[in-house]
Structure 1
Amino acid sequence: MTAVASRRSERRISPVFLGIVAVMAVTGWAAWTGFAEEPGVAVFLFVTSGWIVSLCLHEYAHARTALHSGDISIGAKGYLTLNPLKYTHALLSIVLPVIFVIMGGIGLPGGAVFIERSRIRGRWKHSLISAAGPLTNVLFALVCTAPFWLHALDGVPPAFQYALAFLALLQVTAAILNFLPVPGLDGYGVIEPWLSYGVRRQVEPFAPFGLLAVFAVLWIPSVNQVFFDAIYSILGGLGIDDVQRYCGQNLYRFWEGVDQYCTVSR
């Protein structure tokens, strides 16, 4: 295989990713048309597949930025194919984030792609690699909320509005959590290159526990309330009201019983 052919195969979009996108498209159509007898099922599948797509794009953004910053080993690892099965920790990148969405409706930061940082020169490049992932979540949130802040909801069925609202909530929570300057999260990766060597060495042992610490703090009721108040304020600024947000999560968790208000047209 020639070098050119090899590079093309390393960057060819995976059938696995295309399959997930297909599920998102079909279930989005079902939520839009009311084809599914139970709207919650269509919303659940649409949001879950959309969430997985966003996780793949998040990791792709890290990988692609690393490639252009000097880590030419990225392609051989399969990170440019958008295949979630190629991630270093598929459990952390896909399985746990999906479980957290199902259980608690929160966008758990995923990870990770293995980047050979020694190949990359320049602190700005290291920071940009870390920022690229959560910036993808920000972009995804803007796309999901575009019909709301553009006031273009005429003709959009309520169930599809609710699904977009909940998917946007997941993107906003993922972006905020990822940007926290906590060891192990992307936010710390943004500032790490600018810290002294001594500080980085002292902080390094705590990196595997950073995400656990964040969620432990979020279990504190007062902190949890402040966090979600901030999330809801951001969503409100993007045009999503409390009813749309509530009904999105209510339809998503259809097995707990769907509020009848969320199944009728507004």
Structure 2
Amino acid sequence: MKKKGLGRGLGSLLKEEEFTIDETLLNVDINKLRARTDQPRKNFDDDSLRELAESIKVDGIIQPIVVRKVDDIYEIIAGERRFRASKLANISKVPVVIKNVNDRKARELALVENIQREDLNPIEEAISMKTLMDEYQLTQQELSEIVGKSRSYIANNLRLLTLSDYIKEFLISGDLSPSQGRTLLSLSSEEERKKYLDKLLAKEVNIRDVEKKAKSKKNEKSDIFITDVCEKLTEVLDAKVKIVSKKKGGKIEIDYLNEDDLQRIVDSLMNIYDLEE
């Protein structure tokens, strides 16, 4: 039996000594293993599992499955894919590393292990990130330091969770890329997002086309708003009003005929905002 710390990662969340873990390496009956019900990963590609099963038949399991002992069962913390492939390969015993941790620690380890995997789909990864942030009240920067991914990467992935379940399914299946999913978020309505989702899937448009559409819609809304404000101010002040938009902010121009007309406009403005003494 040996002691092994987790180093960076979750060791930075709690006191370092709380993350010193007893480990034991054994070969155990595969029927005594079970997956966690709160495992963040939900989707396992059948073809990929069959390929791994064939590899296991030839070379065995190279990397042990990480488990913890719960009564007479070994609960999987990390390595459910290897466990599933081993069952397909009809392997009777599998190598496991037993970690002596409680339920909370097991969940923490499973979440971090999932985030650091490369074969998770974007939604599974984002859910793992959000769960860890919520449970530990972490900022995106703190999570970045724990899991070794940039803050912008984490922020971009979390944005995908705001997409509708319908669009998320295409991210989960791999038909839609994360960058395409984020681009759809720039469109304001679900109807438009579904419309351009179909176009992206059919390769009728690309990300740049969707961005241009979103920008034109934004400009169109801005133009309508500015025109409406100009008309209202012109009516209230009985003077020509012009709004000049700039990259940042803008200015309002009000025409007046003479000093008396200027005073009239000032009085009108004061009355509007109830500033007259």
> Greater strand share, 1 or 2?
2
Structure of higher CA gyration radius: 2
TM-score normalized by structure 2?
0.23
Greater fraction helix: 1
Q: Which has the higher contact order (CA 8 A, sep 6+)?
A: 1
